[in-house]
Amino acid sequence: MVIKILGSGCANCHKLEELARKAVEELGIDATFEKVTEYPEIMAFGIMSTPGLVVDDSVKMSGRVPTYEQVKRLIAEAR
């Protein structure tokens, strides 16, 4: 599984990455994390508001920091 965190590196982007890493660890999933910080790349996903969560090239959410349970559910459903 490849998980991409889209955003400029702001506090919300860091929080989303932290939540996603915790969820992956708890779920026992083998995942690679990538940070996408370049705006043309972010916009290529159709995201206009960051942070964004992309799992295996599928946009799962953007524009807010979800709760831990929401992140965990999104990642679990993508397996």
Structural domains of the chain, with CATH? 2-78 (3.40.30.10)
Q: Is 31 a catalytic residue?
A: no
Q: What is the pLDDT of residue 37?
A: 97
Q: Which residue among the candidates 2, 10, 27, 44 is catalytic per the annotation? A: 10
**What's the whole-model pTM score?**
0.95
Q: How far apart are CA 59 and CA 50, in angstroms?
A: 12
Quick: pLDDT tens for 16-75: 999 999 999 999 999 999 999 999 999 999 999 999 999 999 999 999 999 999 999 999
Q: What is the pLDDT of residue 53?
A: 98
Q: Is 10 a catalytic residue?
A: yes
Cβ-based burial of 59 (10 A; exposed 0-12, middle 13-18, buried ≥19) = middle
Q: Which residue among the candidates 3, 5, 6, 13 is catalytic per the annotation? A: 13
